[in-house]
Amino acid sequence: MAEDKTNESAKHALALIAPEGRWVVQVEVRRSSFDKRFNPFKKEENLGASFDAIDLNSNIFPALALLGPSATLGTTTLNTDVVSDRTRITLGYGLTEDISIGTILEYVRNQSHVNFSVAGGNVGFNPLFNANAAIGPTNFPFAPAGGAINPVGTEGVQNILTSPVFGYGYKRIGSVTTSGAGDPVFGGLWRALKDDKQSIVLGAAYRAGIAKADNPDDLFDVVVADGSNDIFMQFEYFRDLGAGFDLHLKTVRTWQFEDTRTMRVPAPGEVLAVSASKEELKRNLGDYWEHDIELGKVMGNWRLSTTWHRYAKNSDRYVSKMGNNTVALMANTDIFADQWRVSASWSGIEAWQQGEIPLPLIVRLEVQDTYRGKNMPKAFDSYLLMTTFF
């Protein structure tokens, strides 16, 4: 009888099919960091490029037009980076030898570090401005800098963005940390085919959008999850190639459902939407595909692998119940990313069977780099995954 090579798939937890009547638990600890992104033209740029080296003239703050075409609050300097720490727990139960059901829970902490300054402005605050009266030509908040009137500078711009007097009502630009539970997943896996050379696993799941929504008043917070209700299906194929090599293919298709979100709606050509533009919109985030092509090499209880990963998402859609133009919100929301991943895993199944360790333990370390993309952070990820059965 031929040796069953598909056991290598289970031995290294490539598909989390739990043994019948038993539980499988996988704990994943991941850190993702990035300070660059791929822009809509697929070019690499600094993460804060949209707010860096910006002339704060009348194109940004239209009221400055009253002071002439050269009036400016100054030019911005902004750099930012993000570090995301994610802990994910996958818990599954084997209903039969080939069917498992389970859930995925996660906790996320995102740190966005921001350095912001403004210099070179020729506009200051009008000392005669009455903040309790309406802004107008006879009660104007700005005046040409000179003499006793200093340029607004960094703190002045922060005041303009945060003070309700000017209508923007944003939180102060600076570093921000967001944390909380991600969107939990409930679903199952079915091993539809298994022989001595190959196996096929099919899966389906529902993701419940419970994560805290993005704060429309904070320009630099990073949400822990998108909070959308989704369903997804996946296909996995494992094939023994001989001489210790194997092929693992995976495809996931996700459909995201329509929901509602309170957001700011920029007017056509407006860079910074005012606070009064906030409204509840119908939101439908773009559906997406994920593909993995993984080549592995088994050496005893060790397995080394390299993976090519592709992520491709359609554009988001927003509809205003008030009939406002939402085109600016939908721009540049189509995403794709190509990533390389390398991993090393050690299987303790045999050590457990021989009584050397108390639990069957599988440990995998992975690193992943985003080398090409569009509207996507250039992220570098590191993972530690630990899997056991009981």
Q: Convert 204-254 into a string of H (helix), E (strand) and C (coil).
A: EEEECCCCCCCCCCCCCCCCCCCCCCEEEEEEEEEEEEECCEEEEEEEEEE
Tokens of 203: 């899966």
Amino acid at 223: V
What was the pLDDT predicted at 3?
47
Strands (E), 120-167: 123-125, 142-144
Indicate the average pLDDT of the chain: 95
Confidence of residue 132 (pLDDT cuts 50, 70, 90): confident
Q: Of 15, 211, 227, whose CA–CA distance to 102 is shortest?
A: 15
What was the pLDDT predicted at 115?
97
Confidence of residue 137 (pLDDT cuts 50, 70, 90): confident
Mean pLDDT of 163-174: 94
Confidence of residue 7 (pLDDT cuts 50, 70, 90): low
93 vs 1: which has the higher pLDDT: 93
Please check the confidence at residue 192 and state whether its pLDDT lies above 50: yes
Tokens of 258: 């329509």
Alpha helix ranges (H) inside the chain: 7-11, 153-162, 327-330, 349-353
pLDDT per residue as tens digits for the range 224-273: 999 999 999 999 999 999 999 999 999 999 999 999 999 999 988 888 99
Rounded CA-CA distance 23/20 in Å is 8
238 within 8 A of 9, measured Cβ to Cβ: yes
pLDDT per residue as tens digits for the range 290-316: 999 999 999 999 999 999 999 999 999
Cα dihedral 172, 177, 178, 179 in deg (nearest 10): -160
Measured over the CA atoms of residue 316, residue 322, residue 324 and residue 328, the dihedral's sign is negative
The residue behind tokens 């919100």 is 329
- Helix, strand, coil tally for the chain in percent (to 5): 10, 50, 40
Mean pLDDT of 25-36: 98
pLDDT per residue as tens digits for the range 364-376: 999 999 999 999 9
Please check the confidence at residue 4 and state whether its pLDDT lies above 80: no
- Enumerate residues 6+ apart whose C-beta is below 8 A from 164: 275
Please check the confidence at residue 8 and state whether its pLDDT lies above 80: no
Please check the confidence at residue 70 and state whether its pLDDT lies above 50: yes
The residue behind tokens 């850190």 is 31
What was the pLDDT predicted at 2?
40
- Enumerate residues 6+ apart whose C-beta is below 8 A from 116: 51, 76, 77, 78, 154, 173, 174
What are 176's strand-pairing partners? 112
What was the pLDDT predicted at 156?
96
Please check the confidence at residue 1 and state whether its pLDDT lies above 60: no
Please check the confidence at residue 6 and state whether its pLDDT lies above 70: no
Cα dihedral 263, 268, 272, 274 in deg (nearest 10): -60
Q: Could you tell me what percent of the chain has a pLDDT over 70? A: 98
Rounded CA-CA distance 89/30 in Å is 11
- SS3 of 19-59: the string is CECCEEEEEEEEEEEECEEECCCCCEEECCHHHCCCECCCC
**Structural domains in the chain?**
7-46+90-112+176-389 (2.40.160.40)
pLDDT per residue as tens digits for the range 138-166: 899 999 999 999 999 999 999 999 998 99
Strands (E), 142-212: 142-144, 176-181, 185-194, 198-207
Classify strands 23-34 and 361-374 as parallel, antiparallel or unpaired: unpaired
Measured over the CA atoms of residue 214, residue 215, residue 216 and residue 221, the dihedral's sign is negative
Amino acid at 376: M
Please check the confidence at residue 221 and state whether its pLDDT lies above 90: yes
Other CB atoms within 10 A of residue 40 CB: 11
Mean pLDDT of 265-287: 94
Please check the confidence at residue 56 and state whether its pLDDT lies above 50: yes
